[in-house]
Amino acid sequence: METTNKAHLFVVLRALDRLAELLQNSYMPPAPDVVKFIDDLWSSLADNAIKVKLGPVNKALTRSIVDEQDASYEELLRNMYLYAIADLVEFVKEGQPASLDAVENCIVDLYDYIACQKYLSEIKGGAAVILTPDDEAKISADPDYREGLARISADKNIAQTISDWDAVLSHRHQPKR
């Protein structure tokens, strides 16, 4: 695997670990086959070759993604996480760096969704609204959203300094399970 792909995979895996912890705290943990898929990808970074089985994670995605029409907030968060996982599956299948970009975009969208929902609930009282540019600026200024983006940026900096990929697991933030 190319070093640039390794570095980008490192970034998205760290972010997905943090999001898995968020889901765990919301009582909507990822399915065990999704967790194993992430664990195997971490190991693949150290092994310099992706060795994962896609059948179990694909089945888990099919079973876990819910219809969003009547989904709860937590179910929507988990769906968004699983969409990122689906894009990660595409990276494993195709090896295209654009799939890693898609994973990162899903992660940023999830942080944006969390900040937006918090804003709508706390500031707008849960009413249906059309967001103004000022509203969008306030959502973008949400500390949790900014922290999520800052962590992704920090992970990119860390990834650029890794020279011993055999020891990459020492950089992993293990979600509580």
The per-type count for the chain, helices as H runs and strands as E runs, is 7, 0
Domain ranges of the chain: 3-171
The 10s digit of each residue's pLDDT in 136-153 is: 999 999 999 999 999 999
Residue with tokens 């664990």: 39
3-171 to CATH, choices 3.40.190.170, 1.20.1590.10, 3.40.190.10, 3.30.1300.30: 1.20.1590.10
Half-sphere exposure of 7 (CA within 13 A, CB side): 14
20-42 burial, b if ≥16 CB within 10 A, otherwise e?
A: bbbbeeeebbbbebbbbbbbbbb
The 10s digit of each residue's pLDDT in 2-44 is: 778 899 999 999 999 999 988 888 788 889 999 999 999 999 9
